[in-house]
Chain A
Amino acid sequence: MSTLRRPSMIGDSLAQLGSAGLFLFAILAALPGSLRHFRETVRQIWFVGGMSLVIIMTCGLFVGMVLSLQLYYTLSIFGGTAALGTVVALSLFRELGPVVTALLFAGRAGTSITAEIGLMRATDQLSAMEMMAVDPMAYVVAPRFLAGIVAMPLLACVFNALGILGAHLVGVTWLGLDNGTFWGNMTSSVDVWTDVINGVWKSTAFGAVIALIATFQGYTTPPTSEGVAYATTRTVVSSSIVVLALDFVMTAFLM
């Protein structure tokens, strides 16, 4: 009996993956119904995106500043400090902007989505909604999923913009690089489609993945306070892993 009951780790993760996939289809099926609760989606965009602005802007500024400082040191070994603007912009737009924003977003917004839905599950609010003929997939899950997809690329753009400003602050104002060199080399090497828009696609995909994981973990949490705690932890852990793995795959395809 015990050998039959003990779930294997591989089988367990496969089952999780499968039910997450089914959950994605359930969300997509509930999307048309969620249009009737459009206000709820707008409200979630504020909760998920607007309220993450402070952490995203602060971190963007500091990442840009430290990137500028480190790369200035490295480039000065080769006498190539003129390329500072280019290197900072490319590494921010192509890689750091989407990924760091996604990790912060998973910690800031993903956890709150999981905890909120998980607590709704634990206190039977989701069952109560079903009894009142309100579809919780359309009223609770789909708006948060949509909000994640909308908010993530916008947050990544804000992160990138603040990162560039931070790099300019350190590189030009502090380390004394020429202002024209900084911007001129950047504008001649950065391309709108292959660099900026590619980062936007990446961050959109990250937003969808994080929102899916967060809502899935919240929706399927065991209805206990311990279950909610585990679900919140799992959201951060699996979001981070999936974001970094997906980042590699998307970079390989979009390059």
Chain B
Amino acid sequence: MTQPRRAFQVGSGLFILLGFAALAYLATQTTSIANYRQGDSYTLKARFTNIGQLKLRAPIKVAGVRVGSVKSIELDDKALDAIVLLSIDKRFGELPDDSAAAIFTSGLLGDQYVGIQPGGSPDMFKDGDEVVLTQSSMQLEDLIGKFLVGGDSTKPAADAEPASPPR
């Protein structure tokens, strides 16, 4: 009498274990949860006039290699530009302090990321430093607008006469 009852309990236990093993498999193998758990990191500040589609936790890359992620995106209510806090892994602590940060798009329509182009300064960035040289994200609409008004980059697309043919 006790034997079949024990069998049910063992079966239920195995089933629950299998279910949680499947959940753990999904969480660790199919998502980027492993990338969120960063070791020690330091924070840099960068100002952009336009961040485009940049999102929280977007990757930060040096020469295409991921070195950190975007920690926060805020609007400076005085200067009205975007302040992006970049959280960079302590392992990559040797970034020259004249490096430039730019927002790139992976592929033509892919996700956006922050690319850092290393400079040549002998001094390195420290925690809390600001990246002075920044380049905003390339706006596809602006590009098309410039193309339509004949490459005159000083003149906004909205000012162009709609009937004027492209020169």
List residues of A whose CB falls within 8 A of some B CB.
39, 42-43, 45-46, 49-50, 53, 89, 93, 150-151, 153-155, 157-158, 160-161, 164, 183, 186-188, 190-192, 195-196, 200
Contact = CB atoms under 8 A, between A and B. Distances in A.
Interface string B5-49: 100110110111011101101110111111100000000000000
Given A39-B9, A200-B23, A50 B15 contact: yes
Contacts of A50: 11-12, 14-15
B15 A53 contact: yes
B11 A196 contact: no
Contact of B18 (A89, A158, A186): A158
A18 B103 CA distance: 57
B15 A43 contact: no
22 contacts: A42-B12, A43-B12, A45-B15, A46-B8, A49-B15, A49-B19, A50-B15, A53-B18, A151-B15, A153-B19, A157-B19, A157-B26, A158-B22, A160-B26, A183-B30, A187-B32, A187-B35, A190-B30, A191-B32, A192-B33, A196-B30, A200-B23
Nearest to A190: B31
B18 A192 contact: no
A155 B19 contact: yes
Nearest to A191: B31
Contacts, number: 84
A154 B30 contact: no
- The secondary-structure label for the interface of chain B is helix
A196 B16 contact: no
A43 B8 contact: yes
Contacts of B32: 187-188, 190-191
A43 B27 CA distance: 28
Given A153-B19, A155-B19, A192 B12 contact: no
A145 B39 CA distance: 44
Contact of A154 (B8, B20, B111): B20
Contacts of A186: 30
A161 B15 contact: no
Contacts of B30: 89, 93, 164, 183, 186-187, 190, 196
A90 to B, nearest CB: 10
Contact of A187 (B5, B16, B31): B31
A192 B27 contact: yes
A153 B22 CA distance: 11
Contacts of B111: 188
Contacts of B23: 154, 157, 196, 200
Nearest to B17: A154
Nearest first, the 3 closest Cβ-Cβ pairs linking A and B are A154-B19, A50-B15, A157-B22
Nearest to A147: B12
B159 to A, nearest CB: 36
Contacts of B33: 192
Contacts of B9: 39, 42-43, 46
A154 B27 contact: no
A128 B60 CA distance: 69
Nearest to B57: A191
A45 B25 contact: no
Nearest to B19: A154
B12 A196 contact: no
Contact of B26 (A43, A45, A93): A93
Contacts of A183: 29-30
Given A43-B12, A157-B23, A158-B22, 15 more contacts: A42-B9, A43-B5, A45-B16, A46-B9, A46-B12, A49-B16, A50-B14, A153-B19, A154-B18, A157-B19, A160-B26, A187-B31, A190-B31, A195-B31, A196-B26
